[in-house]
Amino acid sequence: MDYHELDDSYLVQLITRAHADALGELYDRYGRLVFSLAFNIVGDEAVAEEITQDVFTSVWEKAGTYRSDQSRVSTWLSSITRYRSIDILRRRGARPEQYSVPWGDLHAEMIPDQISTDERAEELILQKRVRAALAELPAEQRAALALAYFRGYSHSEIAAELGQPLGTVKTRIRLAMQKLRNLLDEEDHA
Amino acid sequence: MAVEQHIIELIPEYVLGLLDPVESQQVEQHLQACAACREEEQAHRQVVGLLAYSAPQKDPSSKLRQRILQVPGTQAIQATEKPIPNQFWQKLAHFFGSPSPGWVALTVFLFAAWLLSALLLGAQIYQLRAELARQSPLQVIALKGTESAPEATGVLIVSVDGTHGALVVDRLPKLDEANEYQLWLIRDDHRESGGVFSVGKSGYGVLYVSSEEPLSSYPSFGITIEPAGGSPGPTGEKVLGGDL
């Protein structure tokens, strides 16, 4: 069977039937995404690799819980990754003094306009789409959302970090998410 | 209405995990009863999922893949896919490593007895199938998955007069919108289209089939992946096939 040709959902179905090669193919597609997300949350390569291993082991054991009618496989994987990473961050009580969110300089990111038949083409296109949508947000909305997304901060922690009133923080996050939803949804239907 | 609005406002924070347990529970309860809010929730989850792509990408170490595929669970399952015949043949080879004349004679006798019983059983099955074919007003042709879709299975049920049929398939991979499956009615070098169809996420699909010539006049049937709308002749990979 050529696993490379199968769609993500079908790979997950095969994993439920214990096809180890399907897990290998899923890792080839999303291992980098999972590792990168974990690394950007916990800031430590070794821990990010542990999380990545944990996520794919969990996929192997619980592939039957995936609902293809509710989300894409990539969304499912990134959701598991984010929750695991934030959980580790909280349990370790890690609060990096030198705070840096990955969206600091969206325009400086070098993403090629011309993408060939590179196997990373789809990943690069998605990166470009999402970073372009983020670039349209006001900087203060982006900062509040980054703290929620990458650090798992509560409203009050974000308010303290940014020195803003709690209500302002809530509004910024809601507006940011709503705008991203519209921007990314528009592109989906374009 | 006011309550629904309130819930919709909370959905972005709910999917980000920012709500306290009481608020989260309220949202969950509301989502169970409100399809519109569930749709909104899924859209926001999609956004949160896409945000993973916003982080600078970084390659893990090359050994991580191997480590993941070697965790106890995956290793055990990989092992169960092939080793049983291996162990059997290894044991058999070991058994025949130094056979005594008595064992050889016994083995030859047992093999001859097994061969005879298999032939008798085969003849009985053939007679039963012929009997069933005489009794059944419908013809049922089993379709088997090819190497491209080994999990796939299907049947083509042909009407009494052979002019109509129903194709039922299962466990076929769901295709993207640009492609569809196409049924081919095969006679010698000729391939007649029996129609195009798609399958859902479960891999299950049904196609009503009709042909100018009786379906029962075609000795073989095949299903290939073709561009949406179908092709004049098969161009894509064959995924299922069977003979009358």
Pairwise CB contact (< 8 Å): B201 & A9: yes
Q: What is the pLDDT of residue A182?
A: 92
Picking from A171, A120, A170, the residue whose alpha carbon sits closest to that of residue B20 is A170
Residue-wise pLDDT for B164-187, tens only, equals: 888 889 889 889 888 899 999 998
Continuous H helices in chain B: 2-16, 21-33, 35-50, 64-69, 72-81, 83-95, 101-135
Per the listing, tokens 């998410």 go with A177
Six token digits for residue B102: 């008595």
Q: Is the minimum CB–CB distance between A18 and chain B shorter than 8 Å? A: yes
Tell me which of A3-7, B10-14, B130-134 is least confident: B130-134
Which position has the higher pLDDT, B199 or A95?
Answer: B199
Q: What is the pLDDT of residue B118?
A: 84
Are residues A134 and A142 in contact, defined by beta-carbon separation less than 8 angstroms?
yes
Please identify, in words, the CATH class of the domain defined by A1-93.
mainly alpha
Continuous H helices in A136-165: 139-151, 155-162
Q: What is the pLDDT of residue A96?
A: 54
Strands across the sheet containing B179-187: B190-197, B179-187, B220-227, B238-243, B139-145, B153-158, B164-170, B205-210
Q: What is the pLDDT of residue B210?
A: 83
Q: Region A139-167: what's the mean pLDDT?
A: 93
The residue type of A72 is: R
Six token digits for residue B47: 């956004």
Tell me which of A44-53, A91-100, B8-17, B102-111 is least confident: A91-100
Q: What is the pLDDT of residue A11?
A: 93
Q: Region A103-120: what's the mean pLDDT?
A: 54
Please, which residues 123-162 of chain A have a Cβ atom closer than 8 Å to chain B? 123, 126-127, 129-131, 134, 148-150, 152, 154-155
Are residues A177 and A141 in contact, defined by beta-carbon separation less than 8 angstroms?
no
Annotated domain spans of chain B: 2-54, 139-243
Using the predicted structure, report yes or no on whether residue B222 has a pLDDT greater than 60. yes
Please, which residues 89-118 of chain A have a Cβ atom closer than 8 Å to chain B? 102-103, 109
Q: Region A53-61: what's the mean pLDDT?
A: 93
Which pLDDT band holds residue B76 (cuts at 50, 70, 90)? very low
Q: What is the pLDDT of residue A119?
A: 56
Residues of A in contact with B47 (CB under 8 A): 177, 180-181, 184
Which position has the higher pLDDT, B54 or B201?
Answer: B54
Residues of B in contact with A20 (CB under 8 A): 69, 74, 77-78, 81
B219 contacts: CB under 8 Å, gap ≥ 6 = B186, B187, B243, B244
Handedness of CA A187, B42, B202, A9 (dihedral sign): positive
Q: What is the pLDDT of residue B46?
A: 92
Handedness of CA A62, A63, A68, A71 (dihedral sign): positive
Handedness of CA B85, B91, B93, B95 (dihedral sign): negative
Using the predicted structure, report yes or no on whether residue B77 has a pLDDT greater than 80. no
Six token digits for residue B171: 């466990």
Using the predicted structure, report yes or no on whether residue B156 has a pLDDT greater than 50. yes
The residue type of A116 is: S
Q: Measured between CA atoms, how close is B141 to chain A, in angstroms? A: 24
DSSP state of A43: -
Which pLDDT band holds residue B208 (cuts at 50, 70, 90)? confident
Pairwise CB contact (< 8 Å): B49 & A134: no
Identity of the residue in B43, B73, B147 whose CB atom sits nearest the CB atom of A181: B43
- How far is Cα of residue A56 from the mean position of the Cα atoms in its chain? 15
Please, which residues 31-70 of chain A have a Cβ atom closer than 8 Å to chain B? 31-33, 35-37, 39-40, 45, 48-49, 52-53, 56-57, 60-61, 68-70
Q: Region B58-75: what's the mean pLDDT?
A: 81
Interface predicted TM-score (ipTM) over 0.95: no
Six token digits for residue B180: 């569809």
Using the predicted structure, report yes or no on whether residue A162 has a pLDDT greater than 60. yes
CA A185/CA B171 separation, integer angstroms: 31
Residues of B in contact with A137 (CB under 8 A): none
Q: What is the pLDDT of residue B47?
A: 94
Pairwise CB contact (< 8 Å): A78 & B52: yes
Q: Region B228-237: what's the mean pLDDT?
A: 88
Q: Region A11-22: what's the mean pLDDT?
A: 91
Residues of B in contact with A149 (CB under 8 A): 16, 48, 51
Mean pLDDT, rounded, of chain A: 85
Please identify, in words, the CATH class of the domain defined by A121-190.
mainly alpha
B139-243 CATH pick, 3.40.190.150, 3.90.1150.10, 3.40.50.720, 2.60.40.200: 2.60.40.200
Q: What is chain A written as a DSSP string?
A: --GGGS-HHHHHHHHHTT-HHHHHHHHHHHHHHHHHHHHHHH--HHHHHHHHHHHHHHHHHHGGG--TTT--HHHHHHHHHHHHHHHHHHHTT---SS---TTTTGGGS---S---S-TTHHHHHHHHHHHHHHHTS-HHHHHHHHHHHHH---HHHHHHHHT--HHHHHHHHHHHHHHHHHHHHHHHH-
CA B225/CA A5 separation, integer angstroms: 12
B96 contacts: CB under 8 Å, gap ≥ 6 = none
Residue among B14, B15, B54, B74 with most chain A CBs within 10 A, to mutate = B54
Q: What is the pLDDT of residue B93?
A: 47
Mean pLDDT, rounded, of chain B: 81
Which pLDDT band holds residue A104 (cuts at 50, 70, 90)? low
Between CA B140 and CA B143, with CA B142 as vertex, the angle to 5 degrees is 140
Pairwise CB contact (< 8 Å): A102 & B56: yes
Q: In 3-state terms, what secondary structure has residue B145? A: strand
Q: Region B226-241: what's the mean pLDDT?
A: 90
Which parts of chain A are beta strand (E)? none
Residue among A181, A185, A187 with most chain B CBs within 10 A, to mutate = A181
Query: What are the residue ranges of CATH 1.10.10.10 in chain A?
Result: 121-190
Q: Measured between CA atoms, how close is A122 to chain B, in angstroms? A: 11
Residue-wise pLDDT for B8-66, tens only, equals: 889 999 999 999 888 899 899 999 888 889 889 999 999 999 999 998 888 999 899 99
Q: Measured between CA atoms, how close is B79 to chain A, in angstroms? A: 10
Q: Region A98-121: what's the mean pLDDT?
A: 55
Residue A132 — φ and ψ, nearest 5°?
-65, -40
Task: Compute the residue count for chain A.
Answer: 190
Using the predicted structure, report yes or no on whether residue A117 has a pLDDT greater than 70. no
pLDDT > 70 in chain B, percent: 82
